[in-house]
Structure 1
């Protein structure tokens, strides 16, 4: 079995509670596999920091319902415990009108019970109404119990327990207000783990808090994989080895792929990276912040998202790296860039204070930071034949950024349509025969042929 940690809304402490549970299990030497519902990159970083295992994203819209089941089963095979952190409120999905891509949908797909987290800071007896509503709203779900968060005092706890008693709903954890335990955030969410030198002591405090705040006699059987409960255990085969029509012409050795990974570029799905390796790529990590040159002998470049706007001054202060990237891309080195990677390939990044910082200069546009948040799932329709797509091909991705480009490509990569089909599609992205650059984040789990075609393009290009 496993548990899904869900909140009655966003901001109730799902990530903190999940980290506390993972930290306690890891302290005790248990092998625990974590998962995150939705497209988020940062929460999985915290999971992996604690467990030492890659956290997997479970998103039936970005991938597929079948892939979610396969991914969960495959990643959990050698673990003793499994924990799934939800997204937003339990029933909040992609559109706000239904629960597609919601925590509830993933819990149903995996046949797992839900641990419901309630923020009790400003209520007492009303907690019973909320718990009752969530338990009865969808009879297909099983609520294993609740965690009471931000409890103010012993008297407050007594009132909460009295209110919940008629529901016969187990209280599996009680967390008092913990002002000294807080995760710093910025304009796109939490600050990533690589920027938090005090994260290890914080995780130690969370582990100690979890040891005394949860009913482990009830929790451990629910979290343990392989113990059959009321809902049973899902049985699905692991994901197949990906294949694609793309062929690599006479590769002489493993294909080296330069992956930008540092404090500025850290948004990568674990499944994407592992898929590239399974297809024969050797991932060579390098830092556009610190390295003066690209790694030797690489057949392609991969730029994920991240926070290049936060480190724009440092990126600008490394002209050797910027020049090497620009020269390689102009020479035709296959390149895949998402969001932050797209921004790095522009002429300049203009930060929140209006300062312009020179970037790689591949794309004739600037990336300007602003207040407007572009957020949501997008249906992408390819407008050109590229090394990844054929014209007219469609896929789902996710957009999440506060910057905009000052100029658009005359031959855009995609037309993007929001999840709401009544919204108009807009042109987006830059492309050439060997360049793919877009704000769209794409998970290749259900589309392994895209990763295969990227590797094939890298294998067919002379190494740099």
Structure 2
């Protein structure tokens, strides 16, 4: 199975731009490409999907054990001509040895190519290269792609690679198109009007400047053994319909979460809290994912029929998962940066409001303080947070703990509700999905 990981020296070095360029070039060659993103990320996979025309996937070694990582890569990449995995942050950055691009490369025995940003640098890039090549061994690093490298410095980059016994896989020129960002990460794919033109140009530049044939050549390696995780259909006698929010306001959904629910026997129907008048008919579960409800608060507020429909359904016991932006939507109101307060669904008494700093960031371990929809009292599972927004009532039914010992109360949880800022990844503990599916199957549509 051909696979290659594109890592980077740090966040902002151009990993996503280079990955999109490589994906576009491979797609233009007529290859079937599968794509993956290391770590807990929603936005990068959206760009991947827009280029390859299929779902992109996540590989997270903090959430999943080695066997699960290998299975997810195999299941979602086995039918492709090549799989391209984008790293996260700097190549070695993670949490206690897990969660990094390096760990995913090691677990899956995947060759890695490191993106190095050359803006404002000359031969000093050699020191960075040497550091990455020698910091850990083995490291799976086959070579480098030099981002924003002037043509006059290409011979220098090639020489440095030769001297260090690594490969020069090419470069991207200084004035290549790039993917815009906002403080929560990259601007989403649907927000870039000329995305098709940009990615086509990136693909052309990759074909001209990156040694794609060599990348394909080194990508073929034997796949590590794994034991297939068997799942039992929770919904053997019916297929309960789960309504999943999916529009410009609610766009942070792991494709693995949806596919796992389907494997358990659920049907999933997407809807728009912005544009639809009500929930899909006969739904027996609800997922309100994260996203950017604050950017669309006016339109969400104007859709009073949907707000009332969701409030009524949840108050009647519809099994519901609401994460981050979805949790914000369930409040009485959202207060935007200009001080305007927009009415929302009114399930959570309180207001979601913007702050001027990052409130939570990174992996957490969630421990339930009571029996609830997803787990029993005292049970734990991993999750992640990344938000500048806060709430007058974040909930107190779970304790979130960081690896450094910090902890705090969060989440509103009942026998039918999980609502809070922390995001869930079902493959971190498949019991989360199994219990949610079982609750949906048992719900009688009161």
Measured against the shorter chain, the TM-score band is over 0.9
Alpha-carbon distance in structure 2 between the residues aligned to 1:166 and 1:312:
56
Alpha-carbon distance in structure 2 between the residues aligned to 1:448 and 1:167:
44
Alpha-carbon distance in structure 2 between the residues aligned to 1:44 and 1:104:
19
Alpha-carbon distance in structure 2 between the residues aligned to 1:199 and 1:175:
18
In the other structure, the counterpart of 2:270 is 285
In the other structure, the counterpart of 1:147 is 145
Paired residues of 2:323 and 2:422 also in contact (CA < 8 A): yes
Any residues of structure 2 matched to 1:146-225 within 5 Å, and which? 146-152=144-150, 154-178=151-175, 181-223=177-219
5+ long unaligned stretches in structure 1: none
In the other structure, the counterpart of 2:75 is 74
Alpha-carbon distance in structure 1 between the residues aligned to 2:162 and 2:316:
69
Alpha-carbon distance in structure 1 between the residues aligned to 2:50 and 2:445:
34
Question: Alpha carbon RMSD of aligned pairs, Å?
Answer: 1.7
**SS class of match (1:349):** strand
**SS class of match (1:397):** strand
In the other structure, the counterpart of 1:445 is 427
Q: CA deviation at 1:463?
A: 2.9
Q: Does 1:405 align with 2:402?
A: no
Match of 1:393 among 367, 379, 382: 379
Paired residues of 1:185 and 1:191 also in contact (CA < 8 A): yes
Paired residues of 2:157 and 2:168 also in contact (CA < 8 A): no
In the other structure, the counterpart of 1:83 is 84
What is the count of residue pairs matched by the alignment?
Answer: 444
Paired residues of 1:242 and 1:448 also in contact (CA < 8 A): no
Match of 1:455 among 434, 437, 441: 437
**SS class of match (1:364):** strand
In the other structure, the counterpart of 1:108 is 106
In the other structure, the counterpart of 1:48 is 49
Deviation string, structure 1 residues 299-331 (Cα, Å, up to 9, x no partner): 111111110011111101111110110111111
Deviation string, structure 1 residues 102-151 (Cα, Å, up to 9, x no partner): 11111111111210111111211112221122111111113211111111
Alpha-carbon distance in structure 2 between the residues aligned to 1:160 and 1:388:
52
Match of 1:124 among 117, 122, 125: 122
Alpha-carbon distance in structure 1 between the residues aligned to 2:63 and 2:137:
26
Paired residues of 2:426 and 2:432 also in contact (CA < 8 A): yes
**SS class of match (1:101):** coil
Q: CA deviation at 1:386?
A: 0.8
Alpha-carbon distance in structure 2 between the residues aligned to 1:3 and 1:282:
33
Alpha-carbon distance in structure 1 between the residues aligned to 2:157 and 2:109:
29
Paired residues of 1:242 and 1:449 also in contact (CA < 8 A): no
In the other structure, the counterpart of 2:304 is 319
Paired residues of 2:373 and 2:413 also in contact (CA < 8 A): no
Alpha-carbon distance in structure 2 between the residues aligned to 1:263 and 1:84:
25
**SS class of match (1:266):** coil
In the other structure, the counterpart of 1:25 is 26
Q: CA deviation at 1:269?
A: 0.8
Q: Does 1:354 align with 2:339?
A: yes
Q: CA deviation at 1:242?
A: 4.7
Paired residues of 1:279 and 1:455 also in contact (CA < 8 A): yes
**SS class of match (2:88):** strand
Structure 1 stretches (4+) deviating beyond 4 angstroms? none
Alpha-carbon distance in structure 1 between the residues aligned to 2:140 and 2:438:
45
Alpha-carbon distance in structure 2 between the residues aligned to 1:185 and 1:107:
26
**SS class of match (2:293):** coil
In the other structure, the counterpart of 1:418 is 402
Paired residues of 1:120 and 1:151 also in contact (CA < 8 A): yes
Paired residues of 1:73 and 1:235 also in contact (CA < 8 A): no
Match of 1:235 among 225, 231, 234: 225
Deviation string, structure 1 residues 411-432 (Cα, Å, up to 9, x no partner): x221011122x22x21101122
50-59 vs 7-16, which moves further:
50-59
Alpha-carbon distance in structure 1 between the residues aligned to 2:158 and 2:299:
53
In the other structure, the counterpart of 2:97 is 99
Q: CA deviation at 1:408?
A: 4.4
Deviation string, structure 1 residues 338-357 (Cα, Å, up to 9, x no partner): 11110000011111222111
Alpha-carbon distance in structure 2 between the residues aligned to 1:271 and 1:159:
43
Paired residues of 1:151 and 1:176 also in contact (CA < 8 A): yes
Q: CA deviation at 1:335?
A: 0.9
